[in-house]
């Protein structure tokens, strides 16, 4: 069993319901499953699109990284994502990213772990740290909360009740 963290995001349709459904489906593959609170964020990169809802899920899995990626892609498709019909980093019903797979470092053409953008994205770091406040980057050994402290404001806010205030007073 390997500890994993996955990023979940949506900005089309009922994003909250889609993230909850993705979590239910992911829990079939991941034991000790936990999900952060929801976070609302402004779109980055392609900014002319609706705000996103984001969350991070974590738990343990016996799936290989490749099998986990296949399961995530299948769930995205079942929830309405058609990768061939959207602009990269554009609006989507569901996005599931493998953020961390234990302390493994994976560099393949279609699978990079740790996720290459996670250190610069508050919409990933805030929910990640909500679940695992002392987690470190397997590449650098630095705590993810140190990366968070260096980032400028990015327009991300709790979308409803959050444990953020208790973790970071």
Q: State pLDDT tens for residues 53-111.
A: 999 999 999 999 999 999 999 999 999 887 777 777 777 889 999 999 999 999 999 99
Q: What is the enclosing helix (H) or strand (E) of 8? A: strand 2-10
**Nearest CA among 58, 50, 48, 56 for reference residue 14:** 50
Report pLDDT for 8.
98
Bridge partner residues of 52 (DSSP): 41
Question: Can you tell me the distance from the alpha carbon of 28 to that of 109, in angstroms, rounded to the nearest whole number?
Answer: 27
Report pLDDT for 163.
54
Among 97, 119, 121, 145, which one carries the catalytic annotation?
Answer: 97
Average pLDDT over residues 101-127: 96
Tokens of 25: 């489906």
| Stronger pLDDT, 43 or 10, i.e. the higher one | 10
| DSSP 8-state assignment for residue 161 | S
CB neighbour class for 82 (10 Å; exposed up to 12, middle 13-18, buried from 19): exposed
Q: pLDDT tens digits for 132-144?
A: 999 999 999 999 9
Among 25, 40, 95, 145, which one carries the catalytic annotation?
Answer: 95
**List of E strands, 11-155:** 31-35, 39-41, 52-61, 95-101, 106-108, 111-113
Among 40, 92, 119, 121, which one carries the catalytic annotation?
Answer: 92
pTM: 0.91
Report pLDDT for 110.
92
- Residue 1 and residue 31 in contact, taking contact as beta carbons nearer than 8 Å: yes
Residue with tokens 């406040």: 133
Among 25, 40, 81, 121, which one carries the catalytic annotation?
Answer: 81
Q: Residue 32's domain spans which residues?
A: 2-167
- Residue 2 and residue 101 in contact, taking contact as beta carbons nearer than 8 Å: yes
Question: Can you tell me the distance from the alpha carbon of 154 to that of 42, in angstroms, rounded to the nearest whole number?
Answer: 7
Report pLDDT for 38.
95
SS3 at position 143: strand
Q: Is 97 marked active-site?
A: yes
Q: pLDDT tens digits for 9-36?
A: 999 999 999 999 999 999 999 999 999 9
Question: Can you tell me the distance from the alpha carbon of 78 to that of 25, in angstroms, rounded to the nearest whole number?
Answer: 10
Find the CATH number of the domain harbouring 111: 3.30.70.560
In the chain, DSSP finds a helix count (H) and a strand count (E) of: 5, 8
Question: Can you tell me the distance from the alpha carbon of 157 to that of 21, in angstroms, rounded to the nearest whole number?
Answer: 22
Report pLDDT for 102.
97
Q: Is 51 marked active-site?
A: no
Q: Is 40 marked active-site?
A: no
Question: How confident is residue 167, by pLDDT bands cut at 50, 70 and 90?
Answer: low
Looking at the 3D structure of the chain, how many domains does it have? 1
Average pLDDT over residues 142-158: 95
């Amino acid at each position: 069993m390997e500890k994993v963290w996955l990023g979940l995001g949506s900005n089309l349709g009922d994003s909250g319901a889609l993230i909850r459904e993705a979590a239910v489906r992911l829990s079939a593959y991941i034991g000790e499953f936990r999900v952060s609170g929801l976070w609302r964020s402004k779109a980055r990169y392609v900014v002319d699109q609706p705000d996103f809802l984001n969350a991070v899920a974590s738990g343990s899995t016996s799936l290989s990284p490749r099998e986990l990626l296949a399961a995530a892609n299948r769930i995205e498709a079942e929830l309405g994502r058609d990768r061939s019909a959207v602009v990269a980093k554009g609006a989507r019903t569901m996005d599931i990213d493998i953020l961390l797979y234990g302390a493994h470092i994976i560099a393949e053409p279609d699978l990079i772990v740790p996720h290459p953008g996670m250190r610069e994205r508050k919409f990933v770091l805030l929910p990640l740290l909500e679940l695992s406040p002392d987690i470190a980057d397997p590449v650098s050994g630095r705590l993810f909360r140190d990366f968070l402290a260096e980032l400028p404001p990015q327009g991300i806010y709790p979308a409803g009740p959050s444990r953020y205030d208790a973790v970071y007073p």
